[in-house]
Amino acid sequence: MAIQLDGIRTIVFDLDDTLYAERDFAYSGFDAVGRWLKERMACPVDPATRMRQLFETGNRRRVFDELLLELRCPDVARMVPAMIECYRNHFPVIKLMPDAERALARWSGSFFLGLISDGPLRTQQQKVQALDLERRLNRVILTDEWGPAYWKPHPRAFEIMERESGQSGSACVYIADNPAKDFVAPNSLGWRTVRIRRPGGVYADMSPPPGGCEQFQVQSLDEVDIRF
């Protein structure tokens, strides 16, 4: 359902599954890991194709283990960490979701636009680079610059956004997808919070911690109308 937010000056986004689909990153990573693997062992099936199937049908945390077991790899314990490294460090082929592309075009120039994202620093930096977000946003904060203790729900990144945009929380909005951690800090600082809940999203059924419930919910950024 469409929502209208008034009195906003600063719009801050989450990254994964808010501006682009994390599934696209996974598929891009499987391509990179597949190439890496084919240089090291015989693969009777295309490993990237098989990893996509395992990702869609099985335990997402065990895609690499399952693949190696199927390939009768004698050294799973040593190979899996190397595959994770390859996956995290590859330069991703990803793109903004169409509604995110339209939202940035709609709000650019009129609002202070920011990004707050957790996750391994190099991985997140390369996503930001692939999506050209340093150029399109006023401020990008990757919380892993300070270490995992400052990942959401820690408020530090949100406080910096307030300071650098020159606004108090009441003129800020955070748009994100994960109620388990995304909304606690901005709620406590008086921000407005919008949960993007695309059909079929990973966190579609998670319930929030105390104080972590979003104030608004939409299925697409096309439904968000933001004004001064």
Catalog residues that contact Mg ion under the rule CB under 5 A. Answer: 14, 16-17, 177-178
Residue nearer to Mg ion on the CB measure, 119 or 155: 119
Residue nearer to Mg ion on the CB measure, 17 or 31: 17
CB of 217 to Mg ion, least distance (A): 15
CB of 55 to Mg ion, least distance (A): 17
Closest CA to 152 of 123, 188, 128: 188
- Angstrom distance (rounded) from CA 155 to CA 211: 13
Residue nearer to Mg ion on the CB measure, 83 or 151: 151
CB of 223 to Mg ion, least distance (A): 18
CB of 145 to Mg ion, least distance (A): 18
Please report how many Cα atoms fall inside a 13 Å half-sphere around the Cα of residue 76, on the Cβ side: 12
Residue nearer to Mg ion on the CB measure, 22 or 70: 22
Residue nearer to Mg ion on the CB measure, 99 or 177: 177
- Angstrom distance (rounded) from CA 27 to CA 94: 9
Query: Which residue is at the shortest CB distance from Mg ion?
Result: 16
Residue nearer to Mg ion on the CB measure, 83 or 176: 176
CB of 17 to Mg ion, least distance (A): 4
CB of 22 to Mg ion, least distance (A): 7
**What's the gap between Cα 14 and its chain centre?**
6
